[in-house]
Amino acid sequence: MTVTVTTLPSGLVVATDRMEHVDTASVGVWVGVGTRDEPAGADGIAHLLEHMAFKGTTRRSARAIAEAIEDVGGHLNAYTGREQTAYYAKVLAEDAPLALDIVADILQHSVFDPDELERERHVVLQEIGQAEDTPDDIIFDQFQVAAFPDQALGKPVLGDPEVVARLGRQDLYDYLGQHYGPTQMVAVAAGRVDHARFVAEVESQFRDLPQRQGATDGPAHYRGGACHDERELEQIHAVIGFPASAITDPDYYAWSVYSTVLGGGMSSRLFQEVREKRGLAYAIYSFGASYRDGGTLGIYVGTDPKDLDTVLDVTCAEVNALGETLEAVEVKRAKAQLRAGTLMGREGTSNRAETVAQQLLSFRRTIPLAEVLERLDAVSVDDVLRIARTVRGGVPTVATLGPLGSVDPMARVAAALG
């Protein structure tokens, strides 16, 4: 067991995953809030705050932050998700204290300088515009909106341009104070690190966190439905989805195996039938998104508009058939893919730190590798068949973007699924 966990008196959880034979360390803080925790009328504040954290503190300017990490050859980054926000760095092992110092500084002492805010606001608006110009990116946001309408969980992570354009310093301070308390955070280091030393450094560095916590979004309510964005493009992009498991669901691994059999690789049913046998698409795959209280199973495909009706029919036929014709060899192959992916991911410090953080935020404990592999290995053919039948009975979501023509995607999917 390489993971050690300590909870500080403040409630901040500190964890290390020691890797003896590497020369690097990944250090970061993961916060258990994201887009679904944004208050009404503040769409995009979580993402804007993540950007502004790097734009200057009481101790360092934006340039000084960048130079401090790059002076030691390190990398500093962050991301905003629907339920979590992360700030992390990868450095040589001896520079882990510096990385933690920088992360602690930007999370507690950011000044949100008005001039920097105006510049970074423009950067975020450019990012939103770039996403809008990338069909095989923005289609997933449109799918999320259709699956979870009128809910924070359904909002795009990047935010609403009109809202981002008017968010001010006080909005950022209020959101930070409400959501970035110690009980919402985990500090993690993976690599050649010493647990006791890291705990002491975290306790010393994180003395200025707010203690109060704001309310979070209510339970997720998957509803399903259809949406279409008509654009003049060479392809039409589509995502077909269904309600799926929460990350804590006992069937989580069965859902993962199902998704892999359906569209998780070159040997998957969708890839073989849609691309290899029929040549109807360059990209087609399935994916899962699991949250604390629900999730989705989705299928993405990009195809020629004239082939959309055929692609939808063939895709739904594979969804139907999997529940009747699943073979043991497919389940064995999918489990081998997932097992290998899990083990390969353990070779890097960044992945190890991310895994520990995600487990602590989702389960309030770390899950030993042996337990993960045991639960994956326990998935049976009957388990996957049960998931396949659940998918077929779920209310679909269909999002399309591009030149639709006369096809009604939702009607086509509903008819094909029976």
**Residue 311: both structure tokens together:** 């692609």
β-pairing verdict for 225-229 and 397-401: parallel
Where are the strands (E) in 51-92, listed by range? 75-80, 85-92
Give the position of tokens 């949406």: 227
Residue 289: partners with Cβ closer than 8 Å, 6 or more residues away: 244, 295, 296, 298
> What is d(CA 322, CA 263) in angstroms, rounded to the nearest whole number?
11
Strand 225-229 relative to strand 236-244: parallel, antiparallel, unpaired?
Answer: unpaired
Rounded to 5°, the CA angle 160-164-170 comes to 135
pLDDT for 16 beyond 80: yes
The residue-averaged pLDDT of 372-382 equals 98
Buried b (16+ CB within 10 A) or exposed e, 219-255: ebebebebbbbeeeeebbbbbbbbbbbbbeeebbbbb
- Is pTM beyond 0.75? Reply is yes
Q: Is a pLDDT exceeding 80 seen at residue 22?
A: yes
* Interval 81-129: pLDDT, tens: 999 999 999 999 999 999 999 999 999 999 999 999 999 999 999 999 9
Residue tagged active-site, from 50, 201, 330, 354: 50
Domains and CATH numbers, the chain: 3-205 (3.30.830.10), 225-417 (3.30.830.10)
DSSP string spanning 193-212? --HHHHHHHHHHH-------
> Could you tell me the pLDDT band of residue 215, with boundaries at 50, 70 and 90?
low
**What angle do helix axes 328-345 and 252-263 make, rounded to 10 degrees?**
110
Q: How far, in Å, CA of 262 to CA of 110, rounded?
A: 46
Question: Is 50 annotated in the active site?
Answer: yes
pLDDT of residue 405: 87
